[in-house]
Amino acid sequence: MHTLEQKLQEKSAKIGIVGLGYVGLPLAVEFAGKGFYTLGIDLDREKVEKINSGRNYIDDVDSNRVEALVKDGTLEATTMYGRTGELDIIYICVPTPFTPNKEPDISYIEDATMHISEHLRKEQLIILKSTTFPETTEKVVQPILESTGLKVGQDFYLAFSPERIDPGRTDYTTHNTPIIVGGVTEKCTRLACQTNEQIITKVVPVSSPRTAEMSKLLENIFRSVNIALLNELAQLCDRMGNMDIWEVVEAAATKPFGFMPFYPGPGIGGHCILVDPYYLSWKAKEYDFHSDFIELAARTNENMPFYVLDLIIRSLSSSGVALKAAKLLFLGASFKKNVDDIRNSPALKIMQLLLHRGAENLLYNDPFVPKAKVNGCHLESQEVTDKLLGSVDAVIITTAHDQYDMDRIVKKAKLIIDTRNATKGILEGASKIVRLGSYK
Ligand SMILES: NC(=O)c1ccc[n+]([C@@H]2O[C@H](COP(=O)([O-])OP(=O)(O)OC[C@H]3O[C@@H](n4cnc5c(N)ncnc54)[C@H](O)[C@@H]3O)[C@@H](O)[C@H]2O)c1
């Protein structure tokens, strides 16, 4: 029988990717693109059917590539775990959300691991990629896999290797973004490194899965804390009424060392920076440790949609428009520019808050999000015509997609509430712009 090392060298190792979402599908396409037979496993029947008919559904993935890989039989998908025994290496890329009370929900990891354990065999390597709190790999995944009687490091191998993909980004993708690997044993680390090296230019081993888990959280909490600082300063600039936070950051960023610019905004969304701090603060409590710093940052960021709500009401009232009567157009529904991801989107949160406060006429446009649901209401993306811009009481820029023609928007709209500094440098009509963290 060939060892896993030999199979990797011969490129005959079969790859499994559990969870074909923003992380899993690009990974599957990279492996299949290098000639490795790759089987994607996802409970979502629609995604599986799309892949098997050669259709891509993730913006960052090349649709022609998916079509070609499926056609030549290198890439396949299934909703069933029954074939995991055939696979040599299995990545777990399932969601790790939080509960309504902001506690980690690792049930997707547990569920995927249980299914994998049913067909676990000798010489298989399992790599967890889902972001999670330290010790998940060793204290949650490992015991489930070892309940089969097989022993980690000896019969099968296990590692944590966090994902760093930044959807919408083209300079750093799966292929050229360095990846960290922490295996349960030295051999686990070595095999997981060799596996990642098949598709990634730089692989960085660390001493344990928990170090890799913590380092992934550090990366995202670093962003959460710095964005929170800017969100706090934006509110201070607004309160002082004689400064513009965007100009302040730009000035500070001219320092060539010791400073890295971060920007304020209407809130943090998505599946990572908003969620991950709660994973660590929850884990910390197990050790009687309260991560005040992390929680303060999360609280500050989560307060931003409420602050924007206040900014909208204040700006409308300065224009003599009552919220109930106001017709409002939101530009951008996704949580960041040039992507279709609406998970925890601040734009949707602000619309929700406005509806609670009595707003009755909300419209939105998002070239990436044709439909959205807010407080049970189904909304459809509107075309941004000159007529529409002129007919609304305010345009609220929540996501600065590149497609937006800001000069035209500012020229035609009566009032613009810009939460992203998307109208930077526009002079004609500048008096109509209210910018987050700036004086009017
Ligand atoms: N999206 C990002 O930019 C990003 C970046 C870095 C890390 N991560 C992390 O990667 C993980 C996955 O995130 P994502 O954005 O790809 O999520 P996603 O929701 O886009 O994809 C997850 C997929 O897993 C499937 N799934 C759920 N439970 C399953 C199960 N038991 N078996 C098989 N399939 C199952 C879902 O149907 C879905 O297609 C999360 O932990 C996330 O925090 C995401």
Secondary-structure class of domain 223-435 per CATH: alpha beta
Is the pLDDT assigned to residue 440 strictly greater than 90? no
193 has catalytic annotation: no
Find out whether the beta carbon of 84 lies less than 6 Å from any atom of ligand 1.
Answer: no
Average pLDDT, the chain: 96
> What's the CA-to-centroid distance between 131 and ligand 1, angstroms?
9
Give the residue among 340, 369, 375 at the shortest CA–CA distance from 357: 375
CA of 85 to the centre of ligand 1 (A): 22
Name every residue whose Cβ is closer than 8 Å to that of residue 49 and which is 6 or more positions away in sequence: none
pLDDT at 1: 67
CATH number among 1.10.645.10, 3.30.230.10, 3.40.50.720, 3.30.40.230, domain 4-204: 3.40.50.720
**Does the C-beta of 109 come closer than 6 Å to ligand 1?**
no
Degrees, nearest 5: CA angle 196-5-11: 65
Q: How far does the centroid of ligand 1 lie from the alpha carbon of residue 260, in Å?
A: 30
- The response to whether residue 23 sits with its C-beta less than 6 Å from ligand 1 reads yes
214-241: per-residue pLDDT in tens? 999 999 999 999 999 999 999 999 999 9
307 lines ligand 1 (CB under 6 A): no
Of 385, 326, 329, 407, residue with least CA distance to 360: 326
Determine whether the shortest distance from the Cβ of 96 to ligand 1 is under 6 A. Answer: yes
Q: Which of 169, 202, 165, 192 is nearest to 26 (CA)?
A: 165
| Mean pLDDT calculated for residue range 42-64 | 96
What's the confidence (pLDDT) of residue 169?
87
Q: Contact 236/243 with Cβ under 8 angstroms?
A: no
Range(s) for CATH 3.40.50.720 in the chain?
4-204, 223-435
Look up tokens 């609304």; give the residue.
Answer: 392
The pLDDT value given to residue 2: 81
pLDDT > 90 fraction of the chain, expressed in percent and rounded: 95
> What's the rounded Cα separation, in Å, for the pair 189 and 181?
6
Give tens-digit pLDDT for 342-367. Answer: 999 999 999 999 999 999 999 999 99
Interatomic CA distance for residues 381 and 365, integer angstroms: 4
- Condensed to tens digits (0 to 9), the pLDDT of residues 113-170 reads 999 999 999 999 999 999 999 999 999 999 999 999 999 999 999 999 999 998 888 8
Give the residue from 212, 236, 229, 344 showing the smallest Cα distance to 293. Answer: 229
Q: From CA 233, how far away is CA 105, in angstroms rounded?
A: 32
| pLDDT at res. 394 | 98
The stretch 87-109 carries a mean pLDDT of 96
- Report pTM: 0.94
DSSP calls for 255-274:
SSSS-------S---TTTTT
Instruction: Tell me which of 188, 193, 237, 272 is the catalytic residue.
Output: 272
Helical ranges in 366-419 per DSSP H: 386-391, 406-412
